[in-house]
Amino acid sequence: MEKQRYKELGDFLKTRRAKISPSELGISEGLRRRRTPGLRREEVAHIAGIGLTWYTWLEQGRTIQVSAEVLESLSRVLMLNKQERIHLYTLARQALPTDIPSYQKSVSQILQHVLDNLLLSPSFIMDTRWNIIAWNKAASAVFADFRKIDESKRNMIKMMFTYDDYKKLFIDWESHAQGMLARFRSTIGHYIEDPWLTKIIEDLKRESDEFNLWWTRHDVQGNSEAYKKLKHPIVGELFFEFVSFDVSDNSNLKLIVNTPSLGSDTDIKVKSLLEHVM
């Protein structure tokens, strides 16, 4: 019976792997045609941060122990929905972390339409882990071309502390970064057992001296209204009023809107940037 359980686990991983297009994870498919659809085993193992041999054994149905951290990493790479994630944990005989939301890689057409119609307000939608999963053209023009950022790095906290081009936008980066970190800490208290959180925090401690220092302060801050002062390399100073909204039909998502400040010429500059990139 135990052998059948692990065979089922291996088959489940293989079918999920076959459903993911390499381009969805920012992997170039190259000129050579792939013999099989979806991701290769070595690609899954590499992105999930586990050994290829060990992952191969897992797909082969060998009776090996699987940690919650590995399951969470595989859930992310294979883009499992809530029910698939529950099934994966059940097969591996691991308790699903309490109240941790499932991964979401896109938004509805209606939400995207809302974003697209905030023409001069750089806006995006992020999940509870602060991953950016949707954005409008103004956000790409002002902050970064999110399409060119690997999905695993398209995270607001990670960008603020490790993406140099993004950091350089902020006139007072330290103040903005500390405020963002305090808001981030306030929102993750409900999911502190999330293996993904453990990993990104440890990664950021290694990658950013500032994060490592400020994280130990345990500062917290609510999602209050705020201002952003940027210095864009093309159009110069930009001033925004920043506010976030809960998405009514999905409490795991937040809509972040940056509105050009009254009395500034920011709206004119954003329009210029949009004409520049189109």
Listed by start position, the domains of the chain span: 2-91, 109-277
Question: What is the structure's pLDDT at 240?
Answer: 97
Which of 142, 153, 147, 162 lies closest to 229 in space, CA to CA?
142
Distance of CA 179 to the CA centre of its chain: 19
227 vs 238, higher pLDDT: 238
Alpha carbon distance 44, 74 (integer Å): 8
Q: Which residue has the tokens 């940037």?
A: 273
Full-model pTM: 0.66
Average pLDDT value over all residues in the chain:
87
DSSP 3-state assignment of 209?
helix
Asked whether the predicted pLDDT for residue 33 surpasses 80, the reply is no
Q: What are phi and psi of 79, to 5 degrees?
A: 50, 50
Q: What is the rounded average pLDDT of the residues 219-232?
A: 82
Q: Which CATH class is domain 109-277?
A: alpha beta
Question: What is the structure's pLDDT at 232?
Answer: 96
Q: Token digits for 163?
A: 């993406």
Question: Which one-letter amino acid corresponds to residue 171?
Answer: I
Question: What is the structure's pLDDT at 173?
Answer: 96
At 31, the pLDDT band (50, 70, 90 cuts) reads very low
Question: What is the structure's pLDDT at 38?
Answer: 82
Distance of CA 64 to the CA centre of its chain: 30
Helix or strand (DSSP H, E) at 246: strand 236-247
Write the CA distances from 184 to 79, 139, 163, 237, 248, integer angstroms. 23, 20, 17, 26, 20
DSSP 3-state assignment of 171?
coil
Asked whether the predicted pLDDT for residue 151 surpasses 80, the reply is yes
Question: What is the structure's pLDDT at 175?
Answer: 93
Asked whether the predicted pLDDT for residue 257 surpasses 90, the reply is yes
At 194, the pLDDT band (50, 70, 90 cuts) reads confident
Asked whether the predicted pLDDT for residue 231 surpasses 60, the reply is yes
Question: What is the structure's pLDDT at 29?
Answer: 62
Of the candidate ranges 173-182, 191-200, 238-247, 250-259, the one whose mean pLDDT is the lowest: 191-200
Q: Fold for 2-91, please state it.
A: 434 Repressor (Amino-terminal Domain) (1.10.260)
Q: How does pLDDT run across 258-277, given as a tens digit for each residue? A: 999 999 999 999 999 998 77
Question: What is the structure's pLDDT at 135?
Answer: 97
Asked whether the predicted pLDDT for residue 81 surpasses 50, the reply is yes
Q: What is the rounded average pLDDT of the residues 141-150?
A: 93
At 222, the pLDDT band (50, 70, 90 cuts) reads confident
Which of 101, 102, 120, 123 lies closest to 112 in space, CA to CA?
123
Q: What percent of the chain has pLDDT over 90?
A: 47
Q: Which residue has the tokens 């060119």?
A: 148
Of the candidate ranges 34-38, 152-156, 236-240, the one whose mean pLDDT is the lowest: 34-38
Asked whether the predicted pLDDT for residue 79 surpasses 80, the reply is yes
Asked whether the predicted pLDDT for residue 78 surpasses 80, the reply is yes
Of the candidate ranges 25-34, 82-91, 105-114, the one whose mean pLDDT is the lowest: 25-34
